[in-house]
Amino acid sequence: MSDPRNYTVGWICAVSTEYVAARAFLDEVHEEPDYVSEHDNNDYTLGRIRKHNVIIAVLPDGEYGTDSAESVARDMLHSFPNIRIGLMVGIGGGAPSRYHDIRLGDIVVSSPRDGKGGVFEYDFGKTIQDLSFQHTRFLNQPPTVLRTAVSGLKAQYKESGHQIEEAINSILEKKPRLRQEYKRPDPSSDRLYQAGFTHPPNNEASCTAICGDDPSKLIIRRERTEMEDNPAIHYGLIASGNQLMKDALTRDTLAKEKDVLCFEMEAAGLMNRFPCLVIRGICDYSDSHKNKGWQGYAAMAAAGYAKDLLCRIAPNRVEAGRKISDILSSVQKDVQDARNAVKDLGFEQRREKIDCWLSPADPSTNYNKALQQRQEGTGLWFLQSNAFAKWKTQRNSFLWLYGIPGCGKTILSSTIVEDLKRTLPRQPLLYFYFDFNDTGKQILESMVRSLISQLYCKGEDTWKQLDSLFSSCEAGRRQPSCESFCKVFLYMIGYSKEVWIVLDALDECRTRRGPPTKGLLSWMRDLLSSEGRNVHLLVTSRPEQDIESELGKWPYDNDIVPIEGDSVTDDIRAYVHTRVRNSEGLKRWQSRPNVQQEIETKLMEKANDMFRWAACQLDALENCLEYRTLQTALSSLPKTLDETYDRILRGIPDEHKPYAIRILQFLTFSERPLRIKEAVDAIAVDTEGDQHFNPDYRMPVPREISYYCSSLVVAISTKEHSYDKDGKHAELRLAHFSVREYLTSTRLGEDMAQNFQGTTARASIAIVCLAYLLHFDRDIPPEEIRESFPLAQYSARYWMTHAAVAEVFIAQIGHGTIGHGTMHPIRVEIGQLQRCITRRLEVC
């Protein structure tokens, strides 16, 4: 098997014709990779061209366009972390003009113009409707090493000509099965029709039979001489869209106005995520007269040029930035060394491979966080109830605990899990927390993967079905469907005599509806439907309409428990009582028991079953240093969570507000939780000054970052850094689901609302990431980036995700139309930042 880390050149094809041509030009074909990343469904051919190790991938059969290409590139980069340069090689439609004698079989290479990339994305729909060209954005230039090689190859061809035709013929001699489809067609089939003459609609017959050779309908061109390259190589602009260009009038307009040489459908999905050179063999003229007869030869010609290009690049130039790419890649590190102490090494090695393949979300972080917030003695009303006792013992039992936002559902879930661990220490206990803070904990498949991983450790009888699925997926080199995982989980449950499952926050799952293999609610019903299993399922959620409606159909009417009333009031009272007496900020009233009692009484009068409300008020009261201020605060307590959050935001000092807003923007709109050391660097970025990032401006005590927006955020120690004393490795998260709901709602105050509109917030995040990466425009050793610049990986991986959502906003910034009056006036030249990130990604 081949090691994915040894491959530095990524080559993407759109259709099987291109894939065959690319494979044919390999000097050597390698074995399949040892492993691929989770959710990577690409088909790969690995091989060698000269001294370069190359990965070739093709889009799924029948799929075209920018989205499919982007998906293939993303998966390739995850599975092959050391890719430095990319090639998009295949066929395209030519745009011949008086300045560019482009013919079938010729090659067009994307070439930058005026400092802009050689590929741009256009809106085909607008072109048809408005009869005018509407481009949406120019895309990143390919890496410098590729552009330099293009210049060298251009000079080589000009001096000595190329041998592409000879190379193709040599391959066809060795592979006679390819001759019929991939040889050069008869030159007489290369017809360029007048732009106004179209192929009859809905007629699949060939142009030879239907359109004919009438000279009045054709553009007559001279024959090429022996001194001219054939195929000819053209360098210039390639237009990329999501629909096939087959309008000759529009083609000619774009060729004249923008000097477009070629049209295709995939490159726009790659250039900002997979900086690459686009090489297209011309198989038709972007008109209604499509010519499939030239596709094979055109694909061969493009692949032949790509091989010549790679032969001009020294491998050491490509490999120069290898360790930096490891830092900036999105591939997770191998964690096999973490379990070396396990006695049964054979099982543990197998377990590691399956765990890496599963990539399960870790629910222990949510469990530990909730336990830390729990006060001793709370939750006993439920643990000692008949409903809980019945649930623990009755066959195929179910319980739904529901309550309003902030009533303590997650803390109660962790209390239940802790009790089950204590009372049923040798029994299979599985649990999962859906989490608005973490996109990896929001869908059914993530939950099933986590439950499978937990159950896999419980006993040998549960191994077999998962091992079988793992083996059927080529020992983890590809990923199965969610349906396959659901079936395996049911099989594993069947081998367990009895299983207890706790699922928290169903309302934070994004895939609640659908059949059992796609929707959480149907999956739950399916889980409990078989008499052959003995499952005890307990879930918590808000009383959302779809959850209440679905569970109302189940035969478990007596197994629904509201989290409200006297029981919750007693828990909140215990929580408030303990904090008033033990909290560092409230200990100042220990000598005045009457004041302590006054605090408890006032809070309990207005808590209304909301732990979250009480916790926020206690946080605020810790800032009252004398009794007059305390009395004022107690007499004006907010009535709701919304009013509470509004006061917290308004109470942030002006000098802290920009930092608080930036922190909250990142936590509200980021794709994953933010580590504290990343957040510290994020607020140290200066998007206005000349020096975008200065390490001297970092906070000396990282954990104090939560002070900027106390009560709205919380620091969580992760499993692998549970002994992290300074907090740099902990994660910073929004304190509660209701915080995100408030910040993104129409209820947010007008003075803050603009900062949390999706486009505004994501634009700010993208600018911070780009400004941070601009700091690396000098020769910083890779080891220093790894150790000293923790936000680098996040910025490199996600800046484009945020920028894509906020594209219009950022474009306005770039033109100077946004800045005055916003929270962060951006005076950094966007083009400069984008060129910088391109240079950094060239070596990753």
Question: Residue 811: is its pLDDT beyond 60?
Answer: no
- What does the alpha-carbon distance between residue 618 and residue 616 come to, in Å, rounded to a whole number? 5
Instruction: Give the dihedral sign, CA 359/363/369/372.
Output: negative
Q: Which of 503, 365, 530, 343 is nearest to 434 (CA)?
A: 503
Task: Please state which CATH number belongs to domain 360-564.
Answer: 3.40.50.300
For domain 4-320, give the CATH superfamily.
Nucleoside phosphorylase domain (3.40.50.1580)
796-821 average pLDDT score = 61
Q: How confident is the model at residue 204 (pLDDT cuts 50, 70, 90)?
A: low
Arithmetic mean of pLDDT, 182-203: 81
What is d(CA 552, CA 529) in angstroms, rounded to the nearest whole number?
Answer: 15
pLDDT grade for 23, boundaries at 50, 70 and 90: very high
Does 516 score more than 70 pLDDT? yes
Highest mean pLDDT among 18-32, 428-442, 775-789: 18-32
- pLDDT score for 463: 73
| Phi, psi angles (nearest 5°) of residue 443 | -130, 160
Distance CA 395, CA 499 (A): 10
Give pLDDT, residue 65. 61
Residue 264 host element (H or E): strand 260-264
Per-residue model confidence as pLDDT tens digits over 442-476: 999 999 999 998 888 766 566 777 888 888 888 87
pLDDT of residue 778: 58
Give CA–CA dist 70/59, Å, rounded.
10
Query: What are the pLDDT digits (tens) for 738-754?
Result: 888 889 898 888 888 88
What residue ranges of the chain are covered by domains with CATH 3.40.50.1580?
4-320
Beta strands in 96-245 (DSSP E): 107-110, 119-122, 135-138, 233-240
Banded pLDDT at 827 (limits 50, 70, 90): very low
Tokens read off for 246 = 């087959």
Among 385-399, 512-526, 706-720, 803-817, the range with the most confident prediction by mean pLDDT is 385-399
**Least confident among 142-151, 644-653, 817-826:** 817-826
Longest dimension (CA), the chain: 106
Q: Is 446 exposed, middle or buried (0-12, 13-18, 19+ CB in 10 A)?
A: buried
pLDDT for 413 beyond 50? yes
Helix, strand, coil distribution of the chain in percent, nearest 5? 50, 15, 40
Residues of the chain with CATH 3.40.50.300: 360-564
**How do residues 311-350 score in pLDDT, each as one tens digit?**
999 988 887 643 323 423 333 333 233 333 334 445 566 7
Radius of gyration from C-alpha coordinates of the chain: 31
User: What is the Cα–Cα distance from 278 to 670, expressed in whole angstroms?
Assistant: 31
Average pLDDT, the chain: 82
